[in-house]
Structure 1
């Protein structure tokens, strides 16, 4: 079974590469081979540096893909989530949904390595897009090509992260609207939610489902009662420290088990459960749950390519930051 799964992953990786083999530019200005002349070893440098971290701490893959997601959904994929706050401005990084982001040291290390080889050439936004891809690939997850050419934004506003990111308590109507506003489809919503197959969460992101769902001390009826008992044993009311696996028993493995959990009403967040409230997303959940994720790896790569093109800055827009946490 393991060899069959590996074979399917390899086939889908090859299929992903076919449409982009010529490195043709996309309509938004991104293209493969963007740094072919200015920094030809970029992909090798990024992968080698990222691998040093992932080999020691594979659980960093989840926060790194999340960081890329959080970057793209606020102001587009411009590296704005990487900027530090200043005395005159609170940046996205300090918004509550981003306070649990980890892995900034990986981005900084990759950027530093690239600056030594190709100073002033590669944007932090491109670094983040490549690191997110390589982190997932290095834990034997999906692989996708990453068209490059993003430039870095100079603006990062905390309140925009509060309003722009899909919340874990979002219902299907809200989630579809947020994704549509970014040019992403309902299928992309179902596919990208599958990133919850890896990673952990603080109890605070879902304890309302356990103790006070409608404000009357009740539980969420969409959550499996037996799972509620298990979660209550881990998360007591007011617990702000405990961490829970999003895909219990498989949270370090990038696979389609997430969809089996959701189909069994054991998705950790309301946003996971919401996938069963729409015909299209529900059909996708059922497909992956019953087919052992046969198309998930390819689908995830396709959706990540689309997400990585949201609101990008190209050409003479933005800048190429010297350090990812600071504007030049």
Structure 2
């Protein structure tokens, strides 16, 4: 086969694969089968966030912790059973993940409206987007049509989620394993402009690290004692400036050495780090951050989705269909 013929063949195969993917996931996937689905999810998220602003961060985190383990398949929602161990009790998730009841409520509404049509994986994906928008972030278009996993992985949940004690090289590696480059890693880390972290995850930083604003460290120590005890689960905001607003204050805080957890402050090392320029840029340009974050979230939402005949549409997001 000539080089030209081979090139044409590769081109045709690529076109076919792209066409197949776009036919499986679509921005109008539910237009005919459940036309009120997106509106229903948006209304539920807005109500939940209005009642408790922290819920926006919780729903965004649920989606993140789902997609980084087995792909965006709603495996994180599965409860443990006598014969099945899910992801909810992994070290990053236990006593930490929230928002399950909001997803349950959305699923209940959709099942009464369009039984067996809207997947839990798509609910998580849309709820994350709508949570960001409800707190002042940018909306983005989503490809929908995911199906739900019938399995989960406790081991992968313990190993694949980026840990708050990672150095910069560890962060780059963890995100790289999921197909993200260092720039996208810094962008997605901006999700910490909302949400809380437990004392157990930032204690070492506020007591033992030197690249931290002393007054900030002292203020965090009030809620997180040195010797642990009853304060392990006490939570403080990642962004102490505007904790319920999706903006660029997270990056401004890093410039002032006010990153709450070790991994966050690793993104900025007094102007000498490899990601410092991006942090500085985002700290000055909220619009650029919001746009980049939206694009990175679209990419994350496409991590290994189940489509076609793979998986199922769970009736209850917590259990596999019988």
Q: For this structure pair, what is the TM-score category when the shorter chain's length is used for normalisation? A: 0.7 to 0.9
Q: For 1:1-328, what aligned pairs fall within 5 Å after superposition?
A: 26=21, 29-99=24-94, 100-211=96-207, 219-237=208-226, 238=228, 239-276=231-268, 279-291=273-285, 293-328=286-321
Instruction: Please tell me whether the aligned partners of residues 70 and 153 of structure 2 are also in contact (alpha carbons under 8 angstroms).
Output: no
Distance 1:246 1:25, change over 3 A: farther
Paired with 1:265 and 1:132, the residues of 2 have a C-alpha distance of 28
User: Which secondary structure state, in structure 1, belongs to the residue aligned with residue 185 of structure 2?
Assistant: helix
Aligned counterpart, 1:11? none
Q: TM-score, normalised by structure 1?
A: 0.86
Contact 1:234 1:242 in 2 (8 A): yes
Matches of 2:74 and 2:317, distance apart in 1: 8
Judge conservation of contact 1:85–1:91 (CA < 8 Å) in 2. yes
On the 8 A contact 1:25/1:32 being kept in 2, the answer is no
Secondary structure in structure 1 of the residue aligned to 2:275: helix
State the Cα distance separating 1:27 from its structure 2 match. 5.6
* TM superposition shift of 1:249: 3.3
Q: Using the alignment, how far apart are the partners of 2:301 and 2:33 within structure 1?
A: 21
Normalising by structure 2, report the TM-score.
0.88
Give 1:142 shift.
2.2
**How far apart are the structure 2 equivalents of 1:270 and 1:28?**
42
CA distance in 2, matches of 1:151, 1:305: 17
| Cα offsets for 1:133-184 (capped at 9, x unmatched) | 1122122222111110111011112222110100011111111111111111
CA RMSD of aligned residues (A): 1.7
TM-aligned CA distance change 1:280 to 1:242, over 3 Å: same
Relative to structure 1, the CA distance from residue 251 to residue 258 in structure 2 (aligned partners, 3 Å threshold; closer, same or farther) is same
Residues 107, 316 of structure 2: 8 Å contact kept: yes
In our comparison, the structure showing a higher alpha carbon Rg is 2
Task: Give the Cα separation in 2 of the matches to 1:50 and 1:236.
Answer: 34
Question: Structure 2: which 5+ residue stretches go unaligned?
Answer: 1-18
Post-superposition offset of 1:40:
1.6
Deviations 1:104-160 (A, max 9, x none): 111111111111111101110000001111122122222111110111011112222
Q: Distance in 1 between matches of 2:304 and 2:193?
A: 26
SS at match of 1:94: coil
Cα distance in 2, alignment partners of residues 34 and 183 from structure 1: 25
The DSSP-based 3-state class of the residue aligned with 1:98 is coil
Which moved further from structure 2: 232-241 or 58-67? 232-241
Deviation at 1:28, TM superposition (A): 9.1
Equivalent-residue separation in structure 2 for 1:246 and 1:51 (angstroms): 22
Q: Return the alpha-carbon distance in structure 2 between the equivalents of residues 308 and 234 of structure 1.
A: 35
Q: Aligned to 2:25, what secondary structure does the other structure show? A: coil
Change (3 A) 1:261 1:252: same
